[in-house]
Structure 1
Amino acid sequence: MSSGYVKRTTLFKIPEKNIDLVLKQYEVLRKTAVKDGKPYIVSNVARRITNTSSPLSEGFTISSQSVFRSKEDHDFYDKECPAHAELKKVTGSVRTGIMTVVTEGEWPEPKL
């Protein structure tokens, strides 16, 4: 991945009966997430985790990976994006336990 991209991986514990609901909401997100009137998410893939019977899965049932061009786009997604706010409403209403988010990429150096 080229310099400056930010990758965000999110793991959810979603009951089996609600997995399709969450995956459909990710489809909505991919179609409706815009910043300044234009799509801004480079890519997003959300899928069911298939090895949920393994202790290594820790009970997570959905994985999502989103790629952004910049930290600013990632921050917009996290704090301001209406499409992401709708996704959070859906996942927040059906998830159980913790959610894990891992973000990696070119972040500015902190000012000390």
Structure 2
Amino acid sequence: MPKIVRLSLFKIPDPEMIKEAIQMYNTLAQDAKKDGKNYIQLAQANATYDDPRSEGYSMLARCIFESKEDMDYYDNQDEAHAKIKAHFKGRVGGPPLVIYSDMQ
């Protein structure tokens, strides 16, 4: 079964808030647990270049999961992810753009 690569794009208006979000995402692979074990293969975040083609998206987060089921757990049950979402709720411009696919 192929791994899942997921890209999430965020519209975060404040550069300091972008730095804070990057720090939280960059420790997510260690912070997130499923059945008491780490399950995210990779979690990274970076600021995007300021470019009109970015359409206001200012941060990109990339996560790699072993399976779609792990990604679904991340979305619906993971406490570390819920903490990030709660921390930034109402502070970002709209919902993130999320794209995922099998990793080749």
Q: Is the TM-score greater than 0.5?
A: yes
Task: Report how many residues are paired.
Answer: 102
Which one of 56, 60, 65 corresponds to residue 59 of structure 1?
Answer: 56
RMSD, aligned CA: 1.6
Higher Rg of the two aligned structures: 1
Structure 1: which 5+ residue stretches go unaligned? 107-112
Give the aligned partner of residue 103 of structure 1.
100
Give the aligned partner of residue 40 of structure 2.
41
Name the CA distance, whole Å, in 2 between partners of 1:37 and 1:98.
29
- Give the counterpart letter for 1:83 in structure 2: A
Name the CA distance, whole Å, in 2 between partners of 1:78 and 1:98.
13
Name the CA distance, whole Å, in 1 between partners of 2:41 and 2:16.
30
SS class of match (1:34): coil
Runs (4+) of structure 1 exceeding 3 A deviation are: none
TM-score (normalised: structure 2): 0.88
Structure 2: which 5+ residue stretches go unaligned? none
SS class of match (2:89): helix
